[in-house]
Amino acid sequence: MNLKGHIFWSCLIMIILWILIPDITITSILVSIPFTIFPDIDHNFGSHRHFLPHSIILWIIVFIFNPSIITVMIVFGTGLHCLEDIKPRKMKGFALITYWKYKKLFKFKYSSTLWLLINFINSVIILGWWLALK
Ligand SMILES: [Zn+2]
């Protein structure tokens, strides 16, 4: 998905969540929206769809040291980016998850889709778990 698509769908989904779930604050939405496009920062470092920004690993570490609705929404925003990057018809070439430059992280078919989907599902689980605690 391109930048405009990421911004549009992320804002739409975040606003729907904000309307439906009272525990999600507008501050956490405003902070997390830039993080829904952050994973594509890897374009600037000669790689596309690097596994580290295209996962919730970094933000889980931040969350462990600073648990709050804002860090939970950053984790969810990154997960949302992963969901938006899943395009079943074009999951080849530049769309695959890499570990360095253009070297593929996984060799088997659908592995990049699986990586992105697992990160999205885990971000939803973390958001649900956090909201259930409140
Ligand atoms: Zn991306």
pTM: 0.89
Instruction: Give the domain extent around 30.
Output: 3-133
**How many structural domains are present in the chain?**
1
CA separation for the pair 97, 79 (Å, rounded): 15
The Å distance, Cα 32 to ligand 1 centre, comes to: 15
Q: How crowded is residue 125: how many other Cβ atoms within 10 Å of its Cβ?
A: 11
Is 99:105 a contact under the CB 8 Å cutoff?
yes
Give the pLDDT confidence of 78-113 residue by residue, as tens digits.
999 999 988 766 777 777 887 777 677 777 778 888
The Å distance, Cα 133 to ligand 1 centre, comes to: 30
The Å distance, Cα 73 to ligand 1 centre, comes to: 17
pLDDT at residue 88, rounded to an integer: 60
